Chains A and B, each alone.
Chain A
Amino acid sequence: MSAAPPIPSHAGRRARGLLPWALVLAVLCVAWQGALVTGLMAPELLPPLGEVVTTAVELLTRPSVMAHAGTTLAEVAVAFVIAVPLGLLLGIAIAESRYWSAVLKPVIFLVFSIPKTIFLPMFILAFGINFAQKVGFGVFSTIFIVLISAFSALDSVKAEHLRVARIYGATPRQVAWRVYLPSMAPVLLEAVRLAMMFNLTGILLAEMYAARSGLGQLVSNWGENFMLRELLAGILIISTAAILFNEAVRWLETRCEHWRA
């Protein structure tokens, strides 16, 4: 690597990556407190930031809240574990068959464009208000984006790369692991990220609409009862969790894509 051009250090790049984040956070805090100081927002509508953060910490230690969070986490996890592998396998099976591609791809794209929200009442009618209904709606909200990601993941496999593998005598298994998987990895990880967004949205919505437990139900109750400190603290907690998951997968993506220009 004698002639290698200098590559910026990891620490340096990370610091630069964090800077905009810190700026956005700072602006948010200043705007929040500024709105209170100038009287733009009444403290009943926007409690001071410090109080919201303290409430968030307190909520995280409250066993009842943790029980609700457990329900939501379980629903999200089960729906995710069903929707992502099922969507990928189905998507790959459909894309690999010329007949089913022609029949199903247009249908899937059409259904993808419909807001899934409007089907929520039907899930309640079919399942009742329970765990299965939440998971079912979560899967339904998620699977279309996974199917579409699977299609584009397969499209990202280059014919030239497959040809090289065949020229050098790769077995179908080797082609799958050594060519398909690395070619598809970036798109698949992106699919995981998008799937989680759709999944979380679907399940929280189902909980807010009708549920006996779960963070969505909790947040909805706080709102109805004008408990703004709890409401904003809940929003803060859920947002942070969603962002952390998203960033963790993005970090994996950049690790898998280091070879990209």
Chain B
Amino acid sequence: MTTLLQAPDRADRAAAPQTPAAGHVQVRGLGHTYDAAGRVTRALDGIELDIAPGRFVVIVGTSGCGKSSLLMMMTGLVSPSEGSITCGGMPMMAPDPDRVGVVFQEASLYPWLTAQQNVEFPLSLRKLPKAERAARARERLALVGLQGFEDRYPHELSGGMKQRVSIARGLVQDPPVLMLDEPFAALDEQTRITMGDELLRIWERTGKTVIFVTHSLTEAAYLADEIIVMSARPGRIVDRIEVDLPRPRTYAMMSTPRFAALRERIWGHIRNQAGE
């Protein structure tokens, strides 16, 4: 396994001192059962995860396997019925934007706010001085390549640009962990690949821990250090794959036998699930 790039110099970020373990995410004995109209459903079972700081981990599985639910639990938005989740050694009992930034699917930007205001939104909830808010949001928009688009409204942006704004918003409080829930699912194939490259570039520059949920095998193999493959309901982890493709990843790698073997291995699990 090739070691990843180190996080860049963080001396300029005195506001939120981050210990080396800040980006460490652990899930222990997580299970989830819910009761909808009298029908009890086991959604997740025996989930164990140990994600080292700075890693890029992709959770992949068919739709309905509970991967998005698992991610929502890791963000603190939903409580699991069993087990524990910690981030930076502290339990995630509720959403904490200082520890975890979240990127959702396309429709999550506020259409009545400009790109700049959308990125500022998390900061505006916490009475930060206006000038600092604006400066941080502008810097994040520049990081995702949207300099000059600050005053655009979401309906004036393409799907890919909207997701860049979402990523900038997720990073605006400089959390050590970024969680993404099928962020590129609504995009066309070309934009999807470009956005994958963009995300890798941003990740390498910021050194965040990234947890990325997708149902795309290609996306999983292309982006990840480690792929977590989940089974159909009840969602269990059926495989953990260390991706040994070198970085930086390139489009050409997708046609190598190693890449094909990776996809084959994931597909094997998913096909088995479908056959059951």
Among the 9-residue stretches B38-46, B120-128, B202-210, B221-229, the one with 4 or more Cβ atoms under 8 Å from chain A is: B120-128
Among the 9-residue stretches B54-62, B101-109, B191-199, B239-247, the one with 4 or more Cβ atoms under 8 Å from chain A is: B101-109
Alpha-carbon distance A205/B115, docked complex (angstroms): 49
Alpha-carbon distance A171/B104, docked complex (angstroms): 20
CB contact list, B56-103 vs A, under 8 A: 75, 77, 95-97, 102
| Least distance between B82 CB and chain A CB atoms (Å) | 23
Number of interface residues of A (CB under 8 A): 25
| Least distance between B75 CB and chain A CB atoms (Å) | 6
Q: In the complex, are the beta carbons of A167 and B102 less than 8 A apart?
A: yes
Alpha-carbon distance A18/B121, docked complex (angstroms): 38
Q: In the complex, are the beta carbons of A260 and B102 less than 8 A apart?
A: no
Q: In the complex, are the beta carbons of A260 and B111 less than 8 A apart?
A: yes
Is the contact region of chain B dominated by helix, strand, or loop, or is it mixed? Answer: loop
User: B153 at interface (Cβ–Cβ under 8 A)?
Assistant: yes
**CB-nearest residue of chain A relative to B121?**
A168
Q: In the complex, are the beta carbons of B125 and A182 less than 8 A apart?
A: no
Q: In the complex, are the beta carbons of A3 and B75 less than 8 A apart?
A: no
**CB-nearest residue of chain B relative to A3?**
B148
Q: In the complex, are the beta carbons of A170 and B104 less than 8 A apart?
A: no
| Least distance between A187 CB and chain B CB atoms (Å) | 13
Q: In the complex, are the beta carbons of B95 and A168 less than 8 A apart?
A: yes
- With a CB–CB cut-off of 8 A, which chain A residues contact B97? 167-169
Report the interface size class on chain B.
Answer: 20 to 34
| Least distance between B96 CB and chain A CB atoms (Å) | 7
Give the residue of B95, B108, B110 whose beta carbon is less than 8 angstroms from that of A169. B95
**CB-nearest residue of chain A relative to B173?**
A168
Alpha-carbon distance A4/B153, docked complex (angstroms): 11
User: A174 at interface (Cβ–Cβ under 8 A)?
Assistant: yes
Q: In the complex, are the beta carbons of B125 and A174 less than 8 A apart?
A: yes
- Using A161-B108, A260-B111 as known contacts, say yes or no to A169 and B155 having CB atoms under 8 A apart: no
| Least distance between A43 CB and chain B CB atoms (Å) | 55
Q: In the complex, are the beta carbons of B107 and A1 less than 8 A apart?
A: no
Q: In the complex, are the beta carbons of B112 and A182 less than 8 A apart?
A: yes
| Least distance between B264 CB and chain A CB atoms (Å) | 35
Besides the known contacts A164-B102, A165-B125, A166-B77, 13 further A-B residue pairs in the complex with CB atoms under 8 A apart: A1-B149, A1-B152, A2-B148, A160-B107, A163-B77, A164-B110, A167-B75, A168-B122, A169-B122, A174-B125, A178-B121, A259-B112, A259-B113
Q: Residues of B at under 8 Å CB distance from A?
A: 75, 77, 95-97, 102, 104-105, 107-108, 110-113, 121-122, 124-126, 148-149, 151-156
Nearest 7 A/B pairs, CB to CB? A261-B155, A168-B122, A259-B112, A182-B112, A259-B153, A167-B95, A167-B102
